[in-house]
Structure 1
Amino acid sequence: MGLELPGALRAALERELEGVSRRGLAERAARTSAAYRSGQGSAGVVRGLEDALAYALARLPATYAACATVLGEAARMAPGFAPKSVLDAGSGPAAASWAALEAWPGISGVTWLDESPPFLDLAGRLADGAPAPIRGSDRRRADLTAPGAGWPHADLVVASYALAEIAPARQADVVRSLWDACDGVLALVEPGTPAGFTRLLAARQALIAAGADVLAPCPHARDCPLAAPDWCHFSVRLPRSRDHRLAKGAEAPFEDEKFAYLVAARPGLAPAARSPRVLSHPRAGKPGIDLKLCGPEGLQARHVPRRDKPGHAAARRLGWGDVFEG
């Protein structure tokens, strides 16, 4: 069911949990989540390795699932893209780096940027047994809002759940710095909330102005056709382990992570053709299937009648976030 952590990462996390009070971690995870929701950043929330471990237990599976979904879509949209280097900005426990290695096994170099020593420490401990690029990653303590910090260039630059921790007045500068460091594809992942979408919408405008080619989820470079209270976001289902359920105070064996994202590329890296994307769960009824799409010409409502057997069969396989080729 859903996207699970890679075996080596799951085993490393279990090793870190050996002998650690699950109740204590659950309490730390609850305090950490409340602090993040109140607007505090990692520097004020994750003060030591136990805080970082509690965060990883509660959030690493969902963050990995969202990143794996986004980077898998980037690989699909740019089939000729074969990155050798990754810059994981605001890396935290480095979920995005693990997801990048799953999408592109040919990656040979990984750099982590994070302001939090406990996160960098935990990410390094979780790298024991990881593929060589992660195990040998270049780990740098860095403030993403500090311009001219000498970030290395990379074929793939990823910032997952990072813009949310940056003051709104500084976000545009950070996006420009990320784009300056990118030689190929830039992927931004944020919570699937109206605020997360607003941050990505501003990043999208800045990147298009800088000459970027938007690959996903948008099938066009025109103004976003969505208007409040609607917003562009997606969902991925992931399984919960017993420890994960305890950390979240949840009973369900699965979790639906809502996320928003943007994938941009240097011009000419991917084919120009774009297909409409499904913006919500398809609605199936006796007459057929109704789809809400964002296409090259803007928002579309598409009905695929049951009598169109090939089209209906294809539409039945579509999910929220998929592209519509009909």
Structure 2
Amino acid sequence: MATYSVWSMRPLCAQKKTVFEAIRRARFETNSRRLATIVKHQTRVDENIKEKLENKDVKHKRHEGVQGVGTVILPKILVKSLKNYMQGQPVKQLQPHADAMARYLWCRKRPVEETDIKKQAREYAEKLGVADIDEDSEIEVPKESKKKMTTVMRKLKQHLYNWQPIKYDETKPMTYLLARLAPNYAVTYRVLNEIKKRVPDFRPQAVLDFGSGLGSTVWATDVLWKNSIQQFYCVDTSKDMHNLAEDILCGGSKEENKPYLDTVFFRHFLPIGSRVTFDLTVSAYALLELPNKQERLKTIENLWNKTDQFLVLIENGTFEGFLALMEARDFVMAQREKEQSVDGEDRLQEERNTLGLNTQVGHVFAPCQHDHACPVLNKGTKVPCNFEQKFFSELLGNSAVPSRERFSYIVLRKGDRQTKDAHWPRITQPVMPRSKHVVCQLCCANGQLEQATITKTKHGRDLYRCARTSSWGDLLPISRSEGDMLPVTEQTKSDNKELLHSIEMNEMEQSENGLDNERTISQEGHSNEQVNEIVAHDSPVERR
């Protein structure tokens, strides 16, 4: 019997590998032609930038739809101020508590509404045979029924999220600084930079920051619109957070130095006057801290009435944060429908003139390119519409490796949508460059999600290169007739199962560190007390 050594088998293995590679390449080429659009020459790069690309005035990788800002770093003066403040602080000892706080905030959910609690209680009561669990009833309840009611309440505590307000006393802001200052600044800078890029003539003079915290919005707006802003109005309920924010603005100590910006005003409440308005209103990571839906919508109404130009809302890139933003979006769009209704137009105009409220109709500026219902939410899945931003955190000197932050946001603008604006679709998932074709998921101006497969042959070299060099969150410069749709075929959907799977894996990887904490919160029902123990245990400083 003949024997073969490993070395003698190597040429045969290499030959088989070459054959398999040729077969795989042929399949990809066939699929790329099949996945391309059926109708030729209807979807091309926008004519407004085509000439610039042909004349090489603009590179494809830097076309006008690119909204990314790269990896964000903190301003040098802010880093210097933070280092001065943290001298003598037990930073390394506090870092584990800051990590625990970051996971807790990432798992934060909206408070459970009273109606939802009663509905869930009735379902448990029916299973246990309790006829009525109304606590306001004056009818004497049998002893056996009382035991069943106790069981119902215990199950509610185990399965419902026990939301608790977070109190930022004098010991917590420092831990919050380590946990959230850098990502908050990076995300706020990314969102506000899109406004500056798309509306270069916009130069705000008055800025309202609701839930200002450590003042990350102040620093981001100062970098983007330096010497333009005449007033920063920062609203936060915590006095100690205001004190720390003032120390940072003063180079580390407000007692020793003058503030870097002397136009910043710290308050605990929104301005009372209905005629006091601001060019730019920002609420970053604040909606989930409000106790119920009624308070959230009331806050959104107040912020919208005090906005002259842009209202910016930012939350975690979780499904709960996304739902909080959709509540605000739907509320403002509902007010728009009332404004545009013929029956209520005179009445609302009379109320506006009487109260002096700035209730002008508005539209969604970003990320949506339409005012229709959100197609991501209509899909019925629990995958949020979120985006990703990379940043360097130099607080501990670990700036070699960038961190990533998932976030959801909505930008609302006063006034009607301009017809001259380019309604380019938004790339809502990571771009998939493949052999001779690019796969993008787009949120289009018609209010629909489209899986677009773009090739050089069918759509032109310019659009193909723009799509291939675009990133998650960019606008794709597409020009087509209103009724035309980008290619959506069954083969495209099956070919992009890899995309959906990769997105789900990214979500799992990002939330796996906070999953145990979330499960403990939802099942044991002591969220705020638990995190306070985690952060405050054997530590002189806690968190925000």
Is TM-score (shorter-chain normalized) higher than 0.5?
yes
How far 1:72 sits from its partner (Å)? Answer: 0.8
Taking a change above 3 Å as real, the CA distance of residues 242 and 119 of structure 1, as seen in their structure-2 partners, is closer
Partner of 2:507: none
Partner of 2:298: 173
1:262 paired to 2:386: no
Alignment of 1:184-263 (within 5 A): 184-210=309-335, 211-226=361-376, 227=379, 228-241=381-394, 243=396, 253-263=401-411
2:103 and 2:183 map into 1 onto residues whose CA distance is: 17
Alignment of 1:87-126 (within 5 A): 87-105=208-226, 106-126=228-248
How far 1:268 sits from its partner (Å)? Answer: 4.9
Q: Using CA pairs below 8 Å that are at least 6 residues apart, which structure has the higher relative contact order? A: 2
More helix by share: 2
For structure 1, the 5+ residue unaligned runs are 246-250
Partner of 1:160: 284
1:29 paired to 2:98: yes
More strand by share: 1
Whichever residue aligns with residue 287 of structure 2, its letter is: L
Alignment of 1:71-86 (within 5 A): 71-86=192-207
Taking a change above 3 Å as real, the CA distance of residues 301 and 31 of structure 1, as seen in their structure-2 partners, is closer
**Larger deviation: 76-85 or 214-223?**
76-85
Partner of 2:486: none
Whichever residue aligns with residue 88 of structure 2, its letter is: G
For structure 2, the 5+ residue unaligned runs are 1-69, 109-162, 253-257, 336-360, 479-544
User: For residues 183-212 of structure 1, what are the alpha-carbon distances to aligned partners after superposition, in whole Å with 9 as ceiling and x for unaligned?
Assistant: 111100100110111011111111122322
1:132 and 1:313 map into 2 onto residues whose CA distance is: 47
- In structure 2, which of residues 446, 454, 478 is the aligned counterpart of residue 304 of structure 1? 454
User: Higher Cα Rg: structure 1 or 2?
Assistant: 2
Whichever residue aligns with residue 465 of structure 2, its letter is: A
- In structure 1, which of residues 302, 311, 314 is the aligned counterpart of residue 466 of structure 2? 314
Alignment of 1:57-68 (within 5 A): 57-68=178-189
How far 1:24 sits from its partner (Å)? Answer: 2.9
How far 1:33 sits from its partner (Å)? Answer: 3.5
1:103 and 1:254 map into 2 onto residues whose CA distance is: 22
Taking a change above 3 Å as real, the CA distance of residues 269 and 126 of structure 1, as seen in their structure-2 partners, is farther
Taking a change above 3 Å as real, the CA distance of residues 113 and 8 of structure 1, as seen in their structure-2 partners, is same
1:263 and 1:19 map into 2 onto residues whose CA distance is: 40
Q: Secondary structure at the match of 1:290?
A: strand
How far 1:135 sits from its partner (Å)? Answer: 3.7
1:311 and 1:165 map into 2 onto residues whose CA distance is: 43
Is this contact kept in 2: 1:108–1:133, CA < 8 A? no
Whichever residue aligns with residue 225 of structure 2, its letter is: W
* Aligned positions, number: 314
1:287 paired to 2:432: no
**Larger deviation: 263-272 or 53-62?**
263-272
Is this contact kept in 2: 1:289–1:306, CA < 8 A? no
